Each structure stands twice: as structure tokens, then as C-alpha cells.
Chain A
């Protein structure tokens, strides 16, 4: 089914339904993990390495232990028997991938600034933090490995036990001869090197964890600011050595994640292990400057992309070589991030020959992992920047080069040279709509006018047409990539005796509005008021199964599971109604919460009465089980492939190098639209984060390996003053691979916007001979580029 027509015909789907999550968030009633009052909880604080690479020659905790309010101070040696195994990495991408030992506290050697060295438990947060300063650590410093290419050379090996800085090499080269031949015969080639700078995800809520032991029975409740309560439960059980039956993980209100809370962190392991050890609640909330070094970073790649094209500018091959920065250790899915982009370096273009190689290396920096888009922004950036470079070589416009290379609509479902099947798409229609909305002619005229007039402020127009693979994911595909889990999602729909409806989902929202959207899916199907539906989530005692929220998967996978569970409940309800009315099921109609006999609308049986019959079970069809409930675990047959045209207009001040984003337009196609209000919100926020990578944000390190942008005063998360209103449009091409016909939208804006903005910056300056500026395009970088280009 690819439309939103349903049995009830109520058309809730597609409406701008206001979020039911909002009132408690707007009044301060919502509880984030740090808001939970837990009497008697010990406060945990972690002493972190102040050096990037060193042997720890001694740790003296005696002074700290004797401070007032301090309950305990531990090092690795004290706790090495308090966990069952190392920190988990769930994505061993190759059989020979190197994964150095990684524990919640460093074992004799620190490998990045922020690496845990010791842990304090105290009666108050201030006592815990004060005690950190009383711990004396002696370091024998080693040269840090900070540069990716230097790391690759292996002249200074970080983890001597694995003997190399190379974690793995991963290749996707289906047809090497074809690629070589395409380059040999090319009329034009492009060879570009781009840097994906490291980013600090910077969710507004810092990470936080509270572990509460039950008074008896050996059970623990873990409250964590996490995107992945279900994954966290399984991983904590294995890592700490607590039976999964004794663990309950709750994600309370969670203040944004963007991938940074898709992980299993040392502090979660420590808090659980120490709550078990001391039989007391343990709580920890990170400081913002701690977040900058102790929560994963995103991106961190050197990209080399080459295109071969024929005389018409039709691309015949793409060849990509990446060096990816893993940081000091492999976190939960660190090694898999480049692979999520590995299949998408041909972008939206029909490129027959494909070659991708990634070498992933360790550095003495904070571990990297998933950050909004995870692999796909990097891929989209490389191909969209390279297409502009090709357009300049061929001597056609950025618009024309794309039109010549789009995968044509008639080729869908499209089998790509990288081995994927793209579900649906009509790129040209989307592009034409975007160009028309934007008024490209006037913009180009204005740009030329300013150049001709010698204006100080030049105009740049940048295009980025993205496609991404999301809705993680078909479990068998994940298996082929060696991922450590499946990609299904679980849902239960139950109609209670009073006809109120409980929806239990395995997704774990942290700003996405699932309570609103999921109730819309059920209301649409059952024709009942939204207010009758309650959505339960993010508590493993209530929702035991789930794969959580990341990779723009929740609607396509979790929403589909709810849709199917609702259908099953409705099927059972129909059988009960037919039995009560003594007619065949096929003789019943259903609308607005009531079954009626076809042709005799006065013979009716409301869903509420069905629910009560199912509850009393006094008169059910022979052999039917009581209660009205269905549980579904749904595994999608394919990813979804949302796409869209993003166009940025920037003004570059040639005297100061300052870049202002003055217009931004996005025409996205995410298939059928459940709640446009939420979709637009996701696109807005996504665009802002991608723009931030292009213009503002960078995790900068000094030569000693210190993160020098470790506070929000130094790390430039944009404010409202740096951004314009975003102009949105849409096309709707339903996905045939899920029953709602939907595609993910959570990461689209971030994936598309970075190259749109950078193409715009380069477009403003390309008449000066400038073809590349590294990100972020800060006033200094832009000014230097202009200065170098105009000096001679």
C-alpha cells in the first residue's frame, strides 16, 4: 500500500497535528535524567587524562579519599574484576579488524585527553568534583598521533598490542577493470581532496546516568540520557555481568542525541558496576567541557574522490579513497560509520563503475562514532562538491551537470553499481521544482551584477542534490556488513477494557515527537480520537523489545510495525464483531470506531463493545484467545532512500572573509508525510547542523593533542542570529518497501546542507580561481583564500 487511504477514511495522516509531548516540556514538568530525585545517591565524578598519549606511572588517591564527603576513589586496578568484559564494539566490519582493549578506566596508559583515569564517589556533586583535584597522577608522556596520514604511516604506534594504527581496510570494488577502463578513456577527470573536520555533536542535554539498585532481589534500574535503552540493556548486561533479567533501562526525557547518545559509555558501565559494588544508587551528569572530550565526535575523514566523465560530462566512474579517524578506541559502532556512506559516493547519478576503499586509523583523540547522518553526509559532500568541480571543467553549469547525470525516473527501482536497490525516485521532477521555486535566473543575474560592479559582497549559489539510505535496516543486509544486531522494530497495540488504546514501541524518541506521530498512525487505522491513544516507550520493563532510534529509522521501521500491529488488532476485532452480529466478516464495514453490517447500517457494533467482549471473554468465537492485543516485530525488506534538492545562497564579504547564509531552500522527498509539522522541524534542525559544519564548527586540537574548542564559548554552535528562515518545498514519491510508504527524514537536512553551503562559498569566489576552501569556511580561511588568489 503506498497511499494514506485507510479503512476508516479519517485522514489523520498528513495533518499538522500539534505535539502532545509539548505541554510538559514547556512547563518544566518533563524529567530529564539529571532531574530525577534519588535519595541517598552517590555522586560520581571521573578524573580524565590531561595529556593525549602517556604511560601512567603512578596514581595517588589517598588525599582524595580523605576529603570530606568522599566515599570511595577507584582506579582501573581497583575495579578490574568489577566488569565482565571490555567496552563493547558491536560492529567488527572485517574479520581481521583491530580492536584494542578498551575499559571504562585506563589500564596504565592513556590515549586521549579525556580518557578516564580514576573515579570518585561522594555524597555531593561538589565533593566529588573537588576530590578529583586531590588525585595525583604522574604521566610519562609519549608523542601523540594526531594526523591521519601520519597515523597511517605507523611510525608511532598507539596501541602496541595490535602493532599498527590501522584498524581495518574495507573495499567495495565490484568491477575494477570497468573503473580503470573508464578513467583510461575519460574525456574529463576530476581529482579532489576534501577534509571532513571532526565535529562535537553537542546535544543540548549533557549525558547523564542514574543507577538505582532495588532494595532486594539484586535488580537495577538504569536511567540514562540515551537514544538506545534497549541496546544499552543488552550491552550493560554483557559488559558488567548482570543478568539481563535483573536490568531495567529507562530513557526519561532525553534532550537530543544526534548519534552521540547512540552508544555505551564508560560512565554507564561504571555507574552500574559501582552501584552493584556499594549497593547504593550512583548518579553522574557530565559537564559541558567534559562532553566535548568524553562524548564521541563525528566525521573526521580525509576524502579523495575521482570522477571520470565522457565528452558530454556524463560520469562513467567514481573512485574514492578514504582515511577515517577512529580516535583512540572503537566505541559501539565507530568502525561502521564510513560504511554507511560507502555505497553512496555516486550520489543521485547513474554512474556505472564504482570503487570505494576506506582505511580506518587510530589517533590520540576522542573516539568518533555516529553523528547525524553518519557516513552519508561525508559521501554526499564528496560527490556534490566533485560534481561542481566537474561542471567547471566541462564548462557547464552546476544545474546542467546534474541534469545530464541523474538516475532517470524510469530506472526505479534502481540497481546501483555499488550494489544497492534504490526504492523509488524521480529526481528530475524534484530538481525542476526546486529550481523554479528558487528563481535561479534572477539570482544568477544578481551574482553577475555584483562581480561586474566590483562589489565588496559577492553572491554564491550552491546546489546539493542528495540521496541517502536510511531506515536501518534489513537485518540480513546488516548481517552482510557484520553488524552485531538486527534492524527490525517491535510494536504492541492493545485495546484496553475501557476501549482506551496502549501502543508500545521499541523506538526511543528524544525530540522526534513519536508519541504524536505513532498515535496518528493508530488513529488513522482505527478511526478513534487521538486522545484515546497512549504511546509507551523508552522503558525496557514496559517495552521489552526494541532497536531504538537512530539512522532515520523510527517511522519507516517502528511506525510500520505499529501500523501492522494495528491491522492485526482490527482483524481480531472484526472477527469478534462478526460473531456478535452473527454475520460473516466480509459482510462488515468499519468506520469511525464502529463495525456495521453492509447494507444495514443500523446493525452496528462499536469497537468499544468489542474491547469489552474481548476482555470478559464470555462470548468469543470458538478457540479465540481473550483480549485484544497484537505484537509485531517487523524487519524491513530494504532501506528507504529519501532525496531532495537543496540550494544555498551566501554573501561573501571579500574584505573580511565573512560568509553570511542569506537564503536556504530545501525541496525534500520523504515519501508519504505523516505529520508535516514534525517533518519540517526535522529538516530545519538538520539544515542548521549541516550549515554549522560548513561555516562554524570544528573540534580543533593543538599540537599536544588538547581539544582547544572544548566549551560552547569556543565551539561555535550557531545561534538564531547566524541563520535565516529556511524555505521548504516537497515532492512525494512513496516508498514501496513499507506499508506506510514513508522514508526517513531525520538526517536529510544535515546530509544535504553542508555541500550546498560550501558549493555556494566556492561559487562566489570561483571567478577568482578559487576551487576549494576547507571547512569550516571561517572568515580567516575565506580571507586567506581570497588574499592568495588576488595577490598576483
Chain B
């Protein structure tokens, strides 16, 4: 069936099987492979994208449910000129990533989280990112990155 949505500012329209998940739509049909698949139980958060500005695990949603919605993926976060988003910058400056597989989902979850809670405590950041798993960093530098991004935005 035909599905049409806005992905990173561009209208995309594809004919897909009804059972196609949003994450597979983005990866296999639109070719945006920055959004990763890390599990099959919606536990890991590697596939987190923004739907109408809010973080959503794109494996929990069918592509048809996203019909007519605005989707932002990790590829759409930096400026058109290629300047990193402040959250991406904070992750680099604080070594908030190692292998980088969870990173797109983590960054998308973190940007959405800061929109809801611009001045979080450490504990709030930890709870806010509970749905995103990372196996490399022990979260230390991820939490630091998010706190740094929050501080930078407050300046």
C-alpha cells in the first residue's frame, strides 16, 4: 500500500507491505540506514527517531501509522551545511560514543528528552534514557554529554 510522509524535510512516498515497520521503511525503502535495529522487542532504542518532534522507537510503529507524519532521523539532525547539532557536538566532545551503533538512537532520544526537560539532574537524565541501551560506554559519558548539551543550551 502507498505510504507518504515527510522525512527530514522531504516528502517521500513508497508502496510497501502493510506489515512494514517504520524502521524498515526508513532503512530499506528510503535508504536512510543511520537508524539502526538492535533488538526485536523494542528494548534497545537503537531505532529511535522523531515523529512530529517526539522520540519514538521506530520498530514499535508501522510505516502506515506514520502516513502523513513528519519524521526526523539522525541524518536530518545536523544542519544542511553539515554543522553538527549541539547534542551531536556534546557527544563528540564528551566521548559519549564508542562503537556508535546505539548512538543515533541515543542522540535522538536525548534531544527529545531535553525538549521536555531542558534542565535535568543527573538522575533525570539516567531515567530519561532508560529505554536506550549502550554496551560500550557504561553510560558515564553519555550522561555527561546530555548534561553538557543542556548546560550549553542554557548559556
Contact = CB atoms under 8 A, between A and B. Distances in A.
Contacts of B40: 287-289, 711
Interface string A1-36: 000000000000000001101110111111110110
Given A28-B74, A28-B75, A258 B135 contact: yes
- Central interface residue in B32, B73, B92, B104, by most chain A CB within 10 Å: B92
Nearest to A206: B38
B138 interface: yes
B136 A685 contact: yes
A25 B100 contact: yes
Interface string B115-155: 00000001001110111111111111111000000000000
Given A27-B77, A35-B33, A287-B40, A681 B98 contact: yes
A165 interface: no
Contacts of A445: none
Interface in A661-703: 677-678, 680-681, 684-689
A66 interface: no
Contact of B84 (A26, A126, A685): A26
A18 B129 CA distance: 24
A205 interface: yes
B136 A256 contact: yes
A725 B143 contact: yes
A757 B22 CA distance: 41
Given A19-B95, A288-B40, A684-B141, A26 B100 contact: yes
Contacts of B46: 204
A681 B34 contact: no
A204 B77 contact: no
Nearest to A18: B92
B41 A711 contact: yes
Contacts of B95: 18-19, 677-678, 680-681
B143 to A, nearest CB: 6
Contacts of A512: 98
Nearest to B77: A27
Contacts of B77: 27
A59 B126 CA distance: 49
Nearest to A714: B41
A204 B133 contact: yes
Contacts of B19: 126
Interface string A499-524: 00000000000111100000000000
B56 interface: no
B107 interface: yes
A311 B99 CA distance: 50
B36 A27 contact: no
B103 interface: yes
B134 A204 contact: yes
Interface string A715-735: 001011101011000000000
B84 A23 contact: yes
Interface of A: 18-19, 21-23, 25-32, 34-35, 37, 126, 202-206, 253-256, 258, 287-289, 510-513, 677-678, 680-681, 684-689, 711-713, 717, 719-721, 723, 725-726, 749
20 contacts: A19-B95, A22-B92, A22-B100, A26-B103, A27-B75, A28-B75, A28-B104, A35-B27, A204-B44, A204-B133, A253-B100, A255-B100, A288-B39, A511-B98, A678-B95, A688-B137, A711-B41, A711-B43, A719-B139, A721-B127
Q: Across chains A and B, which 10 residue pairs bring their CB atoms closest together, nearest first? A: A28-B34, A255-B101, A25-B100, A511-B99, A688-B138, A35-B33, A712-B43, A511-B98, A684-B138, A720-B139
Interface of B: 17, 19, 27, 31-41, 43-44, 46, 73-75, 77-78, 84, 88, 91-93, 95, 97-104, 107, 122, 125-127, 129-143
